[in-house]
Amino acid sequence: MKGLALALLLAAACTSPNDDVSDCSEDRCEAAQSRDDLLDQVSGFGDPISAFLRDAVQEDGTLAGNYEQVLEGVGTQIGCERNTEKSFVVLSNQAFHAKTIFNRCADSPIDASEFFLLLPTLNEDLDVETSLIHMTAWDQDAQRYRRYATFPGDDGTMHINVEPSFCLGCHAGPRQLGTWQPLMNEMTNPWTQWNAAPGFVSHEFDDYLAEATQGGANYAEVSAEGLLDSASNFEPIIRAGIDRVTGARVQKRHDPADIDEALQLLQPLFCDEMVNYVSEIHGSGEIRSSALIDDSFRELLSAIGEGSELGFLSETTMQIAPQQDSESNLTLVAVRGESALRAELSLVTRQALSPLQALQVRSLDWTHPVASDFRCELFDAGAARIRAGVLDGEVSALGADATNLELLPLLLSEVMSLELDGEPLSLQPEGSVYLLDDADLAPASAMAWKELELSPAQLATRLQSAIDDASRDQLQRARDVRACQVAALLPTAPLIPDLRCE
Amino acid sequence: MHPHRYPLSNRRARLGLGGVALWLLASTTLACGSTEPDSSNECTDLFKCDVPTQPDQELCVARRSDAFNQNQVAFQPDFLRWSCADVNGVTNSDRGQEYCEYFAMVQLPANSEAEPAPEVAILGRNLGEDYSYGTTEEKLEISYEQLVALEQDEAAVVGQCIFSSWNSDIPGPIAACAGDGANCPSVLGVPVDDNIYRMKFYVNSAEAAQLLVQDCSVLPPGGDLENAKDPLNDDFYRACMLNGEINQTSYRKSDTTVCAASARMTECGCTAVDPDLNVGEYISPWDRMGFPLGTWSSPSALPAGCRFIDDGAGSQTLVSCDLSAADVIMGAFDLKGLCMQKYADNIVVHVPLPPAEALRCDPQASQSPYASSCSATPWVLEDHY
């Protein structure tokens, strides 16, 4: 029920203004009322959008023109000319309405990730609305993305919102991280609901793009030949953006010890902060192995040096039997979000956590790489105990100069513990993991937990077997279960036409 | 082309004299992925270390799936193509099997202001004619001070993934480095030369490609014509199994694709209009550095973040792709693997084919029972399943 209520709240936050009758939808009542008001709101901001706005904002706090003027203005700020601009189109979960994203300097994903501009809605003719903009740009000094939104005024100008809170409904994830992060539901081939051309065949995009949109003058403009690009080239831009956010996040390990900050660093190991989706490539039977095995198993086992002779450690895809006529294409299988994966691996590669410590978490309820209540409730329960003071003595003993880096193993140890029959049980066996297939099978005694203990080498072998034995039916069932769980959790969950949730 | 069955030459066995000597040495004292014999290593087969070992029947199904993937169809009217990415099961020092080798180059910052920056690290570059020579160090060691420096700007480009289709038997220097070398390109300050940037494996050579075409220009064993479900009735599968028989490389996208086009041309009675035209040498000429690299949307474009290294002749055989500080930190234990995961799927080897008018196909003159289904361009295999 809590999850449903939260989902409803977030769904409202991500709702298109076309569906909302409130004058204050999408923070419109917070729009800048004057030039001075806007300048005050962006005071101290170091991102290129704020620099553009300082130059371009009119006395009444509005902008003239539409998205093209914004692209040109911000493009000038970041030194990226119009001929470096690309557009990318995705079908949203709002009745498959097309959303268009623009980047400049698109031939360099790292540079392109500095600035994103989105046209998120369609007008009453189902053509692209060009004056309602969501945009974000990286503030290098603040080490975060700054976000902005515009909406059309009655006089043809665009009103401006600075750091509107509604954006976080989608971009801060179900755990409400408090910061905007890039979001691309499908980050791997075949990018089912994205335009994948040129170079790739679009999967469901062509099937569901509205005819009215295809025929619209604005859509023709944003998808012009030479401008419209493939999701395959948007994916690395998003990855670069995620790396920016992740890098800033894990830098906080050097901050003075703070319980809440340190718990935030550990959270992505346990709870979904974002979800991604993978699909079978056009009936071939090839699908990302993350549909079955969390991607980080590969990285963590490789870091330990175990299982190098096993295939899945060097392969990001797996092969199931190709689709037969009577079978559905396996699309949109929910997997753990890339941002959480990168955050976890960032902590390991920076030696804030060991690969084994991360493996010990991944091994719990491992057949549910996403939407694991077991892992997330383990975290929340541990966090509650910690905030209630269970580790106050140990934290004090670290000294006044302690940093979050020193807090991490202490907090992780507390989170990774269960109380069974009044006795504490650590879920971090020395040199090994407890491989719990499913939360429903969680043992009730410490003795039974011991029977789940595996070395990393044994773990690698078990996971390889799981991949070798995987079937289409198995993954299809998992797809449906996860899709329903995630749909209740995330306002950004994609529309899956053949999905029925109880 | 003269169809004949099971020629003696094959892309696997042609190692040259030095290679033969090496093979003899390897078969008795082989180490997998090292330059010294390693008795503790279980890999004892020169050609089977770190490569897929499934039966040809399974591998050919997988390769067929790759070749006819809607997103990445291998057979085009003007060229054949496949990605640089090694197939699942090709690992460690065997990586680089598709006429495309790759490695990483990284410029780490200095450990302190008082010290100079270290030399550019070259990671995972193949060192010899086959996997047994190993590679340069694959793992990048980053000190704490260097990590702190890298974290100051994780979006900064500090390394490059290098993809090369410069054939291992085509000598340097590249055109841009000839003469006084004033225009010789470099990557992170490392000049382009054949020692570092040219492919090393014998199997990635002009000669090997020519031999592959020659070897596969035969009539492959057919299937049961009465049984529509016999996989040998499929053009690609039939040729793939032939390649498996001749070269034991049915795991490779490159060999199976080239073999399929060659065998199909033979089945369809295709010969060169000009009797002096050697199709194998046309496809893999001695006067070209190697097969051009491109991407799926265009043979002359590259994925975002990548660029051609200008060799002065427009060969498109050398590509460099950006590695950020974040990439280097996250992938330090195997940046070669990161290069493959990040870029190799979309860096595409293109094999230009003779123009259609240079070939004359006469299916009626062919002895193949599959000649009746020949199209006007039989090297563009069609997916009948």
In chain B, where the domains are located: 16-373
How many Cβ contacts (< 8 angstroms) between chains A and B? 105
State how far the alpha carbon of B267 is from the alpha carbons of A6, A425, B3, B221, B354, in Å: 65, 69, 9, 11, 17
Give B6's DSSP letter. S
Q: Which residues contact A45 (CB under 8 A, 6 or more apart)?
A: A139, A142, A146
Task: State the best of A232, A237, A320 to mutate against chain B, taking most chain B CBs within 10 Å.
Answer: A232
Q: Does residue B17 surpass a pLDDT of 50?
A: no
Residue B244 has pLDDT above 50, yes or no: yes
Task: Using the predicted structure, report yes or no on whether residue B6 has a pLDDT greater than 60.
Answer: no
Higher-confidence residue: A309 or B209?
A: B209
Task: Using a pLDDT cut of 70, give the percent of chain B over it.
Answer: 87
Which H/E stretch holds residue B200? Answer: none
Length of chain A: 502
In this prediction, residue B8 carries a pLDDT of 33
- Residue in chain A lying closest to B331 (CA): A349
By three-state DSSP, how is residue B323 classified? strand
Q: What type of residue sits at position A96? A: F
The average confidence (pLDDT) of chain B is 86
For residue B12, the model assigns a pLDDT of: 52
Contacts of A113 in chain B (CB under 8 A): 155
For chain A, the C-alpha Rg in angstroms (whole number) is 24
A435: Cα separation from own chain's centroid? 26
Q: Taking a contact as any Cβ pair under 8 Å apart, which residues of chain A between 225 and 254 contact chain B?
A: 230, 232-233, 236-237, 240, 243-244, 246-247, 251
Average pLDDT over residues B228-241: 94
A5 or B306: which leads in pLDDT = B306
Which residues of chain A have a CB within 8 Å of the CB of B65?
284-286, 319, 322
Mean pLDDT of B60-83: 91
Compute the average pLDDT of residues B95-110. 97
Predicted pLDDT of residue B385: 59
Please report the pLDDT score of residue A168 as a whole number. 86
Highest mean pLDDT among A196-205, A344-353, B58-67, B351-360: A344-353
Instruction: Reply yes or no on whether the pLDDT at B200 is more than 90.
Output: yes
DSSP B364: G
Choose among A199, A311, A346: nearest Cβ to B330: A346
Instruction: Please tell me which of the candidates B92, B297, B341 has its beta carbon nearest to residue A199.
Output: B297
Q: Compute the Cα dihedral for B224, B227, B233, B237 and give only its sign.
A: negative
Q: How far is it, in rounded angstroms, from Cα B222 to Cα B233? A: 6
**CB atoms A108 and B147 under 8 Å:** no
- CA quadruple A403, A406, A410, A416: dihedral, nearest 10: 100
* Maximum Cα–Cα distance across chain B: 79
Cα Rg of chain B (Å, integer): 22
CB contact under 8 A, A302 and B333: yes
Check residues B37 and A401 and name the one with the higher pLDDT.
A401
**CA dihedral sign of residues B29, B35, B38, B43:** negative
Q: How far is CA A478 from CA A335, A485, A486, B11, in A?
A: 10, 11, 12, 44
**Which pLDDT band, with edges at 50, 70 and 90, does B24 fall under?**
very low
- Rounded CA gap, B252 and B167, in Å? 17
The angle, 0 to 180 degrees and rounded to 10, between the axes of the packed helices A338-349 and A355-362 is: 150
Residue with tokens 């991360």: A358
Predicted confidence band of residue B11 (pLDDT cuts 50, 70, 90): low
> Which parts of chain A have pLDDT scores under 50?
1-21
Rounded distance between C-alpha atoms, residue A242 and residue A142, angstroms: 16
